[in-house]
Amino acid sequence: MTDNSPSAAFEHGFHTVAERHERIWLFISLALLSLLMAGAMYFVVADYGVVVKTAGYQRHPEDAATGAFAVDQGLMRTGPNTYAVHMLAHLWQWTPSPLHVPQNAEITFYITSSDVLHGFEVQGTTINVTAIPGTIGKVTYTFRHAGSYNIICNEFCGIEHQNMLGRIIVDPANHS
């Protein structure tokens, strides 16, 4: 087959068009990927919402574990059906524990550690926040089922790590 045959011309034309389409689609997929990456990075860095943005807490790691965390305040009412808890992780306990919370109420946990990294995980829920010295983590959860929940530490933190258990007791809402 020579270069100037009709089928060679067709082949050439076909490949030119196909290549243009491939370039366009390659560009679109790369643009989408870049957009996704930029969005993910923005979400993680600027808008994740898990780390409370308070610069003062970053200066000294131990600072976060003072104030509301220093004393066992238990459950604090913040609204008609909203509560806050300052959960302190330390070798090798959770404070406050056992913690009573009402069923179907919005509970906001503020979490920090006074020593090393710990992992605040409440079994059977989606609560999973790393307790970082110097930083306050935040997670909001509504317990829909009454009962007893285990707080476990999911970040290896030393010799008693496996015994670092806490308890959240969800008291049934009054349906009367």
Examine residue 164 and tell whether it contacts Cu ion (CB under 5 A).
Answer: yes
Residue 34's identity, in one-letter code, is S
Taking the complex as a whole, the smallest distance from the CB of residue 94 to Cu ion amounts, in Å, to: 9
Taking the complex as a whole, the smallest distance from the CB of residue 76 to Cu ion amounts, in Å, to: 24
Do the strands 106-113 and 137-142 form a parallel or antiparallel pair, or are they unpaired? antiparallel
Q: Please give the C-alpha separations between residue 69 and each of 16, 54, 102, 139, in angstroms, as whole numbers.
A: 68, 15, 21, 16
The CA-based angle 42-44-50, given to 5 degrees, is 130
Site for Cu ion in 100-159 (CB under 5 A): 118, 153, 157
Taking the complex as a whole, the smallest distance from the CB of residue 87 to Cu ion amounts, in Å, to: 12
**By rule CB under 5 A, what string of x and - marks binding of each residue 36-55 to Cu ion?**
--------------------
Q: Binding residues for Cu ion, per CB under 5 A? A: 118, 153, 157, 164
